[in-house]
Structure 1
Amino acid sequence: MIKRSPRIHVAADLRVGGDVVLPEGPARHVARVLRLGEGAALRLFDGAGLEASAVLVEASRKRVVARIESVAPGTAESPLAVHLGQAISKGDRMDYAIQKAVELGVAAITPLYTEHGDVRLKGEREAKKLAHWQAVAASACEQCGRAVVPAVNPPLALAEWLAGRDETLRLVLHPDSAGALAQQSAPASVALLIGPEGGLAEGEVVAAREAGFAPLCLGPRILRTETAPVVALSLLQYRFGDLDGNG
């Protein structure tokens, strides 16, 4: 089994020959958890599309510095741009939905307040939760090989999110529909709406339909709110993206 160099997200200017001082969290992980020393190889990515090979030139408890040896564009981005509108769910379920959506190549995620949703965030609590979700997305990129960290936008009311949609293909998951991806031609972009654990209210489904969203059923079983985006994104990426190995 080939041992892979650790991948670290750093919001830094990646230039050959330049030194990057790792932020506190990644530095602690490299020096204290992985126990890497000077001369160890690692991969850095800037979250905007660049990937770098680097070597540690300093690895102390107080400071970890990596020197860039080569820089190249990342190669793990999907050709299909999917904007996921995900109803906010409690605890680890939302983290799971974001993590797996990032692994499956999503381009952007907007957490949504819906009628049947049981989470309401305000002020500082919303800001902290957003920062946490953005960290989940960055961590997922470290694991899956993406060099672009998809945007996790501030939470919106569903109606506000619907009003801003202009994607070529717009889909809302609905168990009582007969929509099928096989009937769709390849889209330039996709908006995917996932409701909360209790499902979207009928008025919300109507509003989505009026905003150009086609209903999509994923089969005879009711999926949890954190499972639905995994299945839907897998199908979209297989049908229109790069999961078939031809992307």
Structure 2
Amino acid sequence: MPGFFLDHLEGERALIREDAGHIVKTLRRGEGDRVFAFDGLGNRLECEIVRADRREVDLRVLSAVPAGTEPRVSVTLYQGLTKAPRMELVIQKCVELGIGAIVPVVFSRCEVRDLGTERLGRYRKIAREAAKQCGRAVIPRIGEAIPFSELLQARECLICPYEEAEGYGLYRGLLDRAGRGRYGIVVGPEGGMTREEAHSLREAGGGIVTLGPRILRTETAGMAVLSAMLCVYGEME
């Protein structure tokens, strides 16, 4: 049976609201039935339904154990803000792969320069659905858009794929930065980052790396780096 994210948890009592209709109408679960849920903090809970209707499912928590589905390394994707269909694809697939957070960044060449409240809400819903679909116990954070200057203050160890980088590949860059614990992947927008932006990232301590002779789309680059990072750091075994 699939797991659901709790909307409220206090002691041994919990509530599910967003997926209540699906639980009651589609799965036909009701009082006395058991379901599995995630608390959003990495734990998997076995619960008994106390009361249920299409608006709200009231639960009693029977047991809780670590879900064991989250990577040991924390990775944030700093994604150049791009058009909605591409951002949605990035969010969905990176959540499936194991990203910890996604923060849109406004680079000089961004065609889209603003992220409205409605669109941000949609992106967060996509992240929630992707996390539920792939069995994750944490919903990755989708942050508000930040200017490039704020990205330079990031505290993570940054890996920055750049199409004009030469002689320093992703694999070597990952090996040189193994064991840092917290990482950030920086991906430019559709038009790429400027040389000045790449230089600023390097000056801030970012690792400017090449992904080889092929130029990847902005929506592909982050997935490629994240997959390689999790593989090299032993998270795909």
TM-score by length of 2: 0.88
The answer to whether residue 89 in structure 2 is matched with residue 89 in structure 1 is: no
| 1:4-25 C-alpha deviation (Å, 9 max, x unpaired) | x12111232264xx343321x3
Q: In the TM superposition, what are the counterparts of 1:75-114 in structure 2 within 5 Å? A: 75-114=68-107
Mapped pair 1:184 → 2:180: no
1:147-186 Cα distance to aligned partner (Å, 9 max, x none): 1222222110111111x2222x321111222322235241
Which range moved further: 32-41 or 228-237? 32-41
The alignment partner of 2:93 has SS state of: helix
Is 1:173 paired with 2:161?
Answer: yes
Deviation at 1:40, TM superposition (A): 4.0
Contact residue 9 and residue 47 of structure 1 kept, 8 A: yes
Alignment of 1:153 with 2:143, yes or no, is: yes
For residues 39 and 222 of structure 1, the distance between their equivalents in structure 2, rounded to whole angstroms, comes to 55
Q: Mark the CA change 1:159 to 1:204 in structure 2 (over 3 Å): closer, same or farther.
A: same
Counting matched residue pairs gives 232
Give 3-state SS (helix, strand or coil) of 2:224's partner: helix
Distance 1:104 1:80 in 2: 12
Q: What do residues 60-82 of structure 1 show as CA deviations (whole Å, max 9, x unaligned)?
A: 33443333221112211111111
1:242 to partner: Cα distance: 0.8
Alignment of 1:154-233 (within 5 A): 154-162=144-152, 164-167=153-156, 169-177=157-165, 178-180=167-169, 181-182=171-172, 183-188=175-180, 189-233=182-226
Other-structure match for 1:9: 5
2: CA distance, partners of 1:191 / 1:88: 16
Letter in 1 for 2:97: L
Q: 2:230 corresponds to which residue?
A: 237
| Alignment check: 8 A CA contact 1:79 1:241 kept | no
1:133 aligns with 2:110: no
1:57 positional shift:
3.6
1:71 and 2:64 matched? yes
Q: Aligned letter for 2:127?
A: A
Measure how far apart 1:196 and its partner are: 0.9
- Where structure 2 has 5 or more consecutive residues not aligned to the other structure, the ranges are none
Q: Which runs of 4+ in 1 moved over 4 A?
A: none
1:14·1:50 contact (CA, 8 Å) conserved in 2? no
Q: Which runs of 5+ in 1 are unaligned?
A: none
1:202 shift after superposition: 1.9
SS in 1 for 2:114: coil
SS in 1 for 2:219: coil
What CA RMSD, in Å, does the superposition of the two structures yield over aligned residues? 2.0
After TM superposition, give the deviation of residue 83 of structure 1 in Å: 1.7
Percent identity between matched residues is 33
Equivalent residues of 2:7, 2:15 under 8 A apart: no
State the one-letter code of the partner of 1:174. Answer: Y
Q: What code does the residue aligned with 1:135 have?
A: K
Alignment partners' CA distance in 2, 1:222 and 1:46: 40
